[in-house]
Amino acid sequence: MTPSPAPPVPLPDLVPSLRADLAAAGFTVDGIAEALGPMANDALGREQMLPADLATRDAGTPLATLVRLFTLGRPVPAEAVSAALPTLGLEGLERLGLVTVGEGRVRATCDLHPHADERHSWWVASDLSEMATGAALAPDHVLGIGGASTTLAAWTPRPQVDRALDMGTGCGVQALHLSGHAGSTVATDLSRRALDFAAFNAAVNGLELDLRCGSLFEPVAGQRFQLIVSNPPFVITPRVSDVPLFEYRDGGLAGDALVEAVVRTIGEHLEPGGIGQFLGNWEVAEGADWRDRVRGWLEGTGLDAWVIQRDVQDPAQYAELWARDGGNVPGTPEHDAMYAAWLADFASRGVGSVGFGVVTVQRPATARDTWVELVEESGPVSSPMGPAILAGVRARTWLAEHGDAGVLATAWRCAEDVTEERHSRPGAEDPSVIVIRQGSGLRRGVRVDTVMAAFVSVCDGDLTAGQALEAIAALLEQDAGEVRAAALPVVRGLVADGFLIPA
């Protein structure tokens, strides 16, 4: 296998010119979407380059040149590149290590992409994708922004913090997001190449990152943060000679041991009240419940935890996804050897399925019992989800600190996004099913009885929960104590999930 190209170099005298030229060309998420049109842009999202190739082939604009060079990995005439980057020039681009030039053609050594959230936009360099090179990814590949990166970024709670950590930073995408709401950001990776890309990306975006090389939390031994994010190398990979170590997605341990290590040790690096947010895969033994496995990892950590399983795959589905990811073509002997190795690896541990989920942990700021919630939610959710995660952590913490007495003494208000559905048999007077549903966050629907439906309908911030339940019990001629006891766990759940908020 040919060695991977050297990462770009953030030469301080040239980076401002690059930034100015990219901005002037309109090399932004919206600019590219507009230039390509929805069909070609969506096709790129599915890793299909042909429509974007056709849309940019004869356009002749600086933006089209940059897309062809850095997204599609096409050789581009030297004059077109010089015209697209008039301040930096072709020589400057070469000195930054972003391209090589030969026979009047310019080739990108890496991918360069605009990336944005609701309030910021960045440029992010990474290794060229498999789509651009047509070759399988090298084991030391530095990933660009993929589905897992955007999932984690979307689910990350973003309070303003003094110090944040991105563990396994890769090209630095999570660290760029953190820079928007953290006083300082430490970003670590086992891969030197990855850290070089992250350093380049920090410089291009005018940001400072404290970059450290090492495994897991080793580079931050003895240090604590208010927010830790990680899209760790969680892919479960057989440790056999047929399957290489894919450093960019697999931490080199057997099974799900790397995710277990993150769960067990992240708390040592969280300040009181600090939050950790990361993605993971977990193995589930035939006939077992995934919750027991993840709960076991959390035991003794002293952390609050909210684990949301989003997807489950059987061993074959998992093997198909990861044996093919990175460019191994199904049907080839190499691919089939990998597929078989995955199946044998799972069978050796009696694994019946693999869960994928998002983990939120918090080190409690006060002396109290921890809360731990493990749920399955596979449906569509708000994007970004981070605000709902932060609100959910705060609500669960409030519940743990105030108990049932606090819930009853509080006047609650029904959140603006909550609606009620009533379903009845044709001709029936009363509904047989009442569901209250939220329009944002996890977009949960909760089936409630008539008492709870009445309770939610009077939650306008006037009466405390205790007063409202007493009034409803009197109206329905039921025992107030029994009504309260039955309602409290449901009210707590509605508060935790943001259906009810303090008035």
Residue 196 interacting with ligand SAM (CB under 6 A): no
Give the three-class secondary structure for 308: strand
328 binds ligand SAM (CB under 6 A): no
How many helices (H) and strands (E) would you count in the chain? Answer: 18, 19
- Under the binding rule (CB under 6 A), the answer on residue 125 touching ligand SAM is no
CB under 6 A: which stretch of 28-36, 44-52, 186-194, 397-405 binds ligand SAM?
A: 186-194
Report if residue 194 touches ligand SAM, rule: CB under 6 A: yes
Quick one: angle between helices 50-57 and 29-45, nearest 10?
Answer: 140
Nearer to ligand SAM, 170 or 441 (CB): 170
Distances (CA, A) of 97 to 106, 111, 397: 12, 12, 49
**Alpha-helical regions (H) of 156-248:** 173-179, 192-204
The amino acid at 351: V
> Cα separation of 376 and 358, whole Å?
10
Burial class (CB in 10 A: 0-12, 13-18, 19+), 385: buried
Stretch that binds ligand SAM, among 29-37, 182-190, 418-426, 427-435 (CB under 6 A): 182-190
CB 398 within 8 A of CB 366: no
> In the bound complex, which residue of the shown chain has the CB atom lying closest to ligand SAM?
170
Least gap, CB of 167 to ligand SAM (angstroms): 6
- CB nearer ligand SAM, residue 35 or residue 236: 236
Q: Binding segment for ligand SAM among 54-62, 95-103, 162-170, 457-465 (CB under 6 A)? A: 162-170
User: In the complex, what is the shortest distance from the CB of residue 246 to ligand SAM, in angstroms, rounded to a whole number?
Assistant: 9
Indicate whether 113 belongs to the interface with ligand SAM (CB under 6 A).
no
Residue among 56, 231, 362, 382 that touches ligand SAM (CB under 6 A): 231
The nearer residue to ligand SAM, 276 or 466, going by C-beta atoms, is 276
Binding residue for ligand SAM, selected from 200, 225, 248, 290, defined by CB under 6 A: 248
Contact 161, 183 (CB under 8 A): yes
Contact 110, 128 (CB under 8 A): yes
Q: For 158, phi and psi rounded to 5 degrees?
A: -125, 65
Q: Which of the stretches 17-25, 141-149, 267-275, 320-328 binds ligand SAM when contact is defined by CB under 6 A?
A: 141-149
- List residues near ligand SAM by CB under 6 A: 143, 148-149, 152, 168-170, 173-174, 188-191, 194, 215-216, 231-233, 247-249, 251
